[in-house]
Amino acid sequence: MAKAPVLTPQAEDFPRWYQDVINKAGLADNGPVRGTMVIRPYGYGLWERMQREMDARIKAAGADNAYFPLFIPQSYLTREAEHVEGFAPELAVVTHGGGKELEEPVVVRPTSETIVNEYFAKWVQSYRDLPLLINQWANVVRWEMRPRVFLRTSEFLWQEGHTAHATYEEARDYAARIHREVYADFMENVLAMDVVLGRKTARERFAGAVNTLTLEGMMGDGKALQMGTSHELGQNFAKAFDTRYLSKDGGRELVWQTSWGTSTRMVGGLIMMHGDDHGLRIPPRLAPVQAVVLAIKGDDAVLAKVREVGDRLAAAGVRVKVDDRTDTPFGRRAVDWELKGVPLRVEIGPRDLESGTAMLVRRIAGGKEPVAADALAELCPRILEEDQALLLRLSRERREARTADVRTVEEAAEAAAGGWARIPWADLGPEGEARLAEQGVTVRCLVGEDGSVPGSDDAPGTVAVVARAY
Amino acid sequence: MAKAPVLTPQAEDFPRWYQDVINKAGLADNGPVRGTMVIRPYGYGLWERMQREMDARIKAAGADNAYFPLFIPQSYLTREAEHVEGFAPELAVVTHGGGKELEEPVVVRPTSETIVNEYFAKWVQSYRDLPLLINQWANVVRWEMRPRVFLRTSEFLWQEGHTAHATYEEARDYAARIHREVYADFMENVLAMDVVLGRKTARERFAGAVNTLTLEGMMGDGKALQMGTSHELGQNFAKAFDTRYLSKDGGRELVWQTSWGTSTRMVGGLIMMHGDDHGLRIPPRLAPVQAVVLAIKGDDAVLAKVREVGDRLAAAGVRVKVDDRTDTPFGRRAVDWELKGVPLRVEIGPRDLESGTAMLVRRIAGGKEPVAADALAELCPRILEEDQALLLRLSRERREARTADVRTVEEAAEAAAGGWARIPWADLGPEGEARLAEQGVTVRCLVGEDGSVPGSDDAPGTVAVVARAY
């Protein structure tokens, strides 16, 4: 079929392609208040699937969900000096409630370390109460000057974990466990996204953390996106809120803490990492709809067949949708499912009934071929797993192909025009980092030569991964 | 074992009992900003299970989840006259964002009809786009002068459904479907709560609705709690936001709408409907933990046994927790699980190992008896279902026993001192309703003589259910 070019090609204008996909695939709209967004059902369906997969991993790591209030007394924010400095410029402030001016204005949470610590200080009495492992799914607000849907919005949805431990080592290990067993596992095995695991430089650390672990993904245009972070907070908030526990030998000790978060920003990452000029490509393990069965025409026999195939795929464990809206032209529906990135399309028309076939269209690997309708239930789950692996491989190959090893600031800046650079941290250092920052290029993370996460900034052999970033 | 009286007895002071349960069972704390709450893991676990069960029913009714912004331009609220009048006194207003005073203040959503309609007006083009069935899980803010945890909080968590239909009849039927197939089904079959289904009088209707359907439960002290509502909005918001569709014959018609909501208030209802002087009683189908297996002492053999029993119960589909914290006295742990209302306790000590038994303690039916450890996996699922049914029956029997049929305003007010009254609406009417309201007694809902939901206030045989309410 002849298609109108529904999307701006990526090569022509990547940001516009991104916005086109969001509009045309029905993912989100801009909200009426600057920087906010309306997440439409298809976009929210992606987020719901992310939540479900993440939540299972968070619980497996021992954390329980809870809920802390949206409103935080302004005074809480000021107790941790670096924290307030980091967040003050982004706060939304409520000054009136119930028709009256409030005695103390309250801020809409930009993150919850402060209010969480106020309660941890009450809940933690003795070493028996540790570790205390809490997660919450919530909305947060950070006023954005240059908003972009899913990537930087004034309000976004996220999970934020907050934990308290008896020792430095336990806290450090737990932050690392979330980083790898929850975040990296989810991103690689569900989102099919290649991510680089590393630690942030002092310049890029979370406001109030002593160490920030990050996961960085390369988008289709070669820029980087921070997909999630896990922080060691040391005793910074514990000191500010006097969060102490009675140790086995009777002392009143400060706890050691972590916090960690991922957000609806991951939806933006998914779009920009896997999308192409025809729209989204959703990894099968994430996809709310893994296969759509389309009736090409509205004869009763065709409609009966698509429903039968739909039932059989569902029975085989495939998340399937039957598209029998034959009052809408077939071509338009096919383009719409392509845009939405549904991994498999099964198209059935009158001629297929005679031959006992269906047209199987693969969104990820590409290509279409007629297959025996009876074979679909066995075939589709296998193809979905193949295409899941393929997406991850493609994203890894792109990152490898577009990453250059360099030795100077100039070379790093040049490489960051269309990809990433790797440069020994000993060659770059905070000074080189500052020079790059002037050109809009940042150190995304520090990694070990072997790809491990270094235990400190000055560990021997540490390499800086450098890029432009969203 | 001798127990200290951990809770104020219900008969002595029901509100204090309620607050004691919330504290001692670790359900929630008051937040730092007046009227807000911190939902602790055990309380949030109840809400998560509610969400999961409700969400499945909402999706089965055809609605998709989406997310609308927290912040609504103040001007939106004013477009529907009754709506703004109802909500204006409860609004929280953000006047500053990103360090500057905002040009137009924004309100924190008290409910989302207005912002939803702004987008429905864009998304609905033709009759093909209808019905549009949306739900969202979110936090909302209504400034509360007399807050009480879970029941009336300035911020609460809820789901709010919003739908648009081509005809009045479709909208009416969908509001009724949510009322019965989603809300009543969930409350009766999961929460084991007896609820009376009816319609609100004009006085008690949602601000902006033409009809409000409600579910009312009788709490342990005989007062009523509104557990959820489903509204027919008519074309009120459609007119205010010009939400129109192109009909089959080419006209530009206003849509007909519904909205419907249930909230964390249901947690308060659960406490007050099923709780007793020993704490919570959680209905088995809801319970995050249906059975806890307690090691009485910490010998290796006992610990091995409780883990083995735990595994077998889990394999039998029971949501089970093993309590092997034998550094805490057994009595204290037993009281804690009783307080938390876990339906079944399986207690195992050294003597049980010899006899191959375990002590089975039933929180709902009461009583404890030794049973063969090998029989537990078969026994527990059956008992859980029995006790689920028992809780529902007990709540129904209480409501029936404490509801009086009366004919005058005076009799109704008297009956409402310790229970509910039923009075023919023809005998009460809006005037009698106003007189009752002066005494703090309200018409909870109108029902048909046969328990059906009347199609209008003046349907013949309509009965008013009258009570004091939370």
Q: Do B33 and A72 touch (CB under 8 A)?
A: yes
Tally of CB atoms within 10 A around A410: 12
Tell the burial category of B327 from Cβ atoms under 10 Å away from its Cβ (0-12, 13-18, 19+): exposed
Q: What is the mean pLDDT of residues A256-277?
A: 98
Is the CB of residue B150 less than 8 Å from the CB of residue B142? no
Q: Which residue of B has its CA nearest to A135?
A: B41
Please give the pLDDT value at position A145.
Answer: 87
Q: Which residue of A has its CA nearest to B73?
A: A33
Q: Nearest by CB to B68, which of A38, A93, A118?
A: A38
Residues facing residue A22 across a β-bridge: none
Interface test with A, best of B72, B77, B87, B94 (most A CBs within 10 A): B94
Which residues of A are less than 8 Å from B70 in CB distance?
36, 70, 108, 139, 141, 155
Please give the pLDDT value at position A5.
Answer: 62
Q: Do A33 and B108 touch (CB under 8 A)?
A: no
What distance, in Å, lies between the first and last C-alpha atoms of chain A? 36
Task: Please state, rounded to an integer, the average pLDDT across all residues of chain A.
Answer: 96
Angstrom CA distances, A297 to A20, A137, B93, B114, B127, stand at 29, 44, 53, 40, 21
Share of chain A above pLDDT 70, in %: 99
Q: Which domains does chain A have, with CATH numbers?
A: 14-274 (3.30.930.10), 291-390 (3.40.50.800), 404-467 (3.30.110)
pLDDT > 80? residue A256:
yes
Query: What's the pLDDT band for B3 if we cut at 50, 70, 90?
Result: low
Q: Nearest by CB to B69, which of A44, A73, A155?
A: A155
Task: Please state, rounded to an integer, the average pLDDT across all residues of chain B.
Answer: 96
CA distance A258 to chain B (A): 18
Share of chain B above pLDDT 90, in %: 93
Is the CB of residue A164 less than 8 Å from the CB of residue A257? yes
pLDDT tens digits, residue range B201-236?
999 999 999 999 999 999 999 999 999 999 999 999
pLDDT > 90? residue A209:
yes
Q: Which residue of A has its CA nearest to B328?
A: A128
Please give the pLDDT value at position B4.
Answer: 53
Nearest by Cα to A46 from A450, A421, A278, A341: A341
pLDDT > 50? residue A2:
no
Share of chain B above pLDDT 70, in %: 99
Q: Do A88 and B106 touch (CB under 8 A)?
A: no
pLDDT tens digits, residue range A389-402?
999 999 999 999 99
Q: Nearest by CB to A73, which of B32, B91, B108?
A: B32
Name, of A83-87, A298-302, B86-90, the range with top average pLDDT: A298-302
Q: Which amino acid is at B151?
A: L
Q: Do A106 and B31 touch (CB under 8 A)?
A: no
pLDDT tens digits, residue range B134-144?
999 999 999 99
Residues 6+ apart with CB under 8 A from A69: A109, A115, B31, B32, B33, B36, B37, B38, B155
Query: What's the pLDDT band for A82 if we cut at 50, 70, 90?
Result: confident
Q: What is the mean pLDDT of residues B447-452?
A: 93
The strand ranges marked E within A128-192 are 132-141, 155-165
Please give the pLDDT value at position A463.
Answer: 98
Q: Which residue of A has its CA nearest to B30?
A: A69
Q: Nearest by CB to A119, which of B29, B67, B69?
A: B29
pLDDT tens digits, residue range A404-448?
999 999 999 999 999 999 999 999 999 999 999 999 999 999 999
From CA A333, how far away is CA A342, in angstroms rounded?
12
Please give the pLDDT value at position B83.
Answer: 85
Q: Do A65 and B45 touch (CB under 8 A)?
A: yes
Q: Nearest by CB to B32, which of A108, A118, A155?
A: A118
Q: Do B89 and A68 touch (CB under 8 A)?
A: no
Which residues of A are less than 8 Å from B133 in CB distance?
none
Give ipTM to 2 decimals.
Answer: 0.96
Tally of CB atoms within 10 A around B81: 12
pLDDT > 90? residue B458:
no
pLDDT tens digits, residue range B154-203?
999 999 999 999 999 999 999 999 999 999 999 999 999 999 999 999 99
Please give the pLDDT value at position B350.
Answer: 95
CA distance A461 to chain B (A): 40
Q: Which residue of A has its CA nearest to B143?
A: A98
Is the CB of residue A261 less than 8 Å from the CB of residue A159? yes
Please give the pLDDT value at position A430.
Answer: 97
Q: Do B118 and A71 touch (CB under 8 A)?
A: no
Q: Which amino acid is at A199?
A: R
Q: Do A96 and B96 touch (CB under 8 A)?
A: no
Q: Nearest by CB to A96, which of B38, B93, B145?
A: B93
Please give the pLDDT value at position A74.
Answer: 92
Six-digit token string for A237? 């908030």
Residues 6+ apart with CB under 8 A from B304: none
Nearest by Cα to A245 from A135, A175, A167: A167
Please give the pLDDT value at position A455.
Answer: 92
Interface test with B, best of A36, A52, A71 (most B CBs within 10 A): A71
Q: Do B29 and A122 touch (CB under 8 A)?
A: yes
Q: Do A32 and B66 touch (CB under 8 A)?
A: no
Please give the pLDDT value at position A84.
Answer: 86
Q: What is the mean pLDDT of residues B89-115?
A: 94
Please give the pLDDT value at position A3.
Answer: 53
Please give the pLDDT value at position B96.
Answer: 94
Please give the pLDDT value at position A326.
Answer: 94
pLDDT tens digits, residue range B282-338?
999 999 999 999 999 989 999 999 999 999 999 999 999 999 999 899 999 999 999
Please give the pLDDT value at position A392.
Answer: 98
H helices present in A61-196, as ranges = 74-77, 81-87, 113-123, 168-177, 185-189
Q: Residue A32, preceding bond cis, omega within 30 degrees?
A: no
pLDDT > 80? residue B439:
yes
Q: Do A154 and B71 touch (CB under 8 A)?
A: yes
Please give the pLDDT value at position A4.
Answer: 53
Q: Which residue of A has its CA nearest to B44?
A: A66
User: A300-315 and A376-401 are packed helices; what angle lies between their axes, rounded to 10 degrees?
Assistant: 70
Which residues of A are less than 8 Å from B121 in CB distance?
none
Q: Which residue of A has its CA nearest to B264?
A: A67
Q: Which residue of B has its CA nearest to A49?
A: B65
Q: What is the mean pLDDT of residues B76-96?
A: 91
Which residues of A are less than 8 Å from B48 in CB distance?
65
- Reduced 3-state DSSP string for A31-90: CCCCCCEEECHHHHHHHHHHHHHHHHHHHHCCCEECECCCEEEHHHHCCCHHHHHHHHHH
Whole-structure pTM value: 0.97
From CA A377, how far away is CA A367, in angstroms rounded?
19
